[in-house]
Amino acid sequence: MPRPLTHQAAARHGRNCACTGTCGTHHAAGRCGTDGAELLAPADFGITPAALADIPRGQLRPWCWPCWRDALRRQQQAFVRTCPACRSTRTQDYGVPIPRTDDYADAARCHACGYAWALDPGANGACATCGGSGIVGGLALWQAPRCPCHEEFSPMAPTGQESRAS
């Protein structure tokens, strides 16, 4: 997870966002450059949250919140989802309409066994244990324990405080 931008890092890298398009936006100057970046995170989003603690501060770069969020989302979507029921990788993400709204809930289904599950944005979508649901064992939410990946991938608020995922 990213760290709050410190004064030392701001002095080393500046306070401008260092995103070079990892977020999916073509930045006109080749770099976002948003003044007032709030986060420190690696330029390589393939790193696991556990390994982030071991990265030297010199390899962390300033990010604005929108670029970091979109770059993380793109990285998480570039994986193979595994069905938590049968361990097949023949899965498909889709949206379930939420009644009386114009919104959708993220879900996935397995083409091998037919199992369908809700996706949790706080879970690792590539986790072979929960398949991105954040729940172990395919049980109901109130019956099953949280998958360990849920703690590793909990989204952080811009202030650096962990969100209170239920």
pLDDT in tens, the chain (166 residues): 556 656 666 677 777 888 888 888 888 778 887 887 778 887 776 666 667 677 777 778 888 888 888 888 777 777 788 888 888 888 888 888 889 888 888 889 999 999 998 888 777 777 888 888 877 765 555 666 778 776 655 444 333 333 334 3
What sign for the dihedral angle of Cα 92, 97, 102, 104? Answer: negative
Q: What is the pLDDT of residue 61?
A: 82
What's the pLDDT score for residue 113?
Answer: 93
pLDDT the model gives residue 48: 63
- How far is residue 63's CA from residue 67's CA, in Å, rounded to a whole number? 7
Is the whole-model pTM more than 0.85? no
Residue 11 confidence (pLDDT): 72
Q: What is the pLDDT of residue 10?
A: 67
